[in-house]
Amino acid sequence: MGKTSSAFMTKGIIYLICGILIGFFPGIISWIFYIVGGLIIIGSVLMLITGAGSGLDGSVVGGAVAGIIVGAIICLIPRIISVGIPIAAGIIFIISGITRFFKSLKAEKSELNTASMIFGILLAAFGGFLLFNPFKASFIIRMSIGILLIVLAVFSFYAARIARQREKNTIPDTIDV
């Protein structure tokens, strides 16, 4: 197996694992964030305790407090991703849809403007769906990303197969006698 085909195989395996984890086992990813955040918090608390035993230094206290804050933020990342992103995207789509709709109203009447108005209404409606139903939207987005990554894995495996066939068909530059 040559460099190109093994690179495609490696990429395909990574895409497949990430696609399965993101699309079908999101709890595992959340637990990874919780474990990493918890370890940072525990390490920071231990640093604070050991620093207190040896005479507190300002940098030790500051570092420990910063570590606790970073650990807490890392623990909150799954919640922020699952709710915050659909809400922010919903607001952006609503604003974009309303803007497109009103620009189409002010422009000259044509079939293109009618299509632009309809597209603006659809954008605003989709933004409303994201804004008012962030958990369902998050599920749909997560499943779509997972399936897309699995499809990319299939393409990478196919590209590895093609690369392997090409590598077999190449004639070496030198001939060993």
The tens digit of pLDDT for each residue in 16-50 reads: 998 998 888 878 878 888 999 999 999 999 888 88
pTM listed for this prediction: 0.61
Q: How far apart are CA 84 and CA 72, in angstroms?
A: 17
Cα 44 versus chain centre, distance: 28
Q: Give percent above pLDDT 90 in the chain.
A: 32
Secondary-structure percent of the chain, ordered helix, strand, coil, rounded to 5:
90, 0, 10
CB 147 within 8 A of CB 19: yes
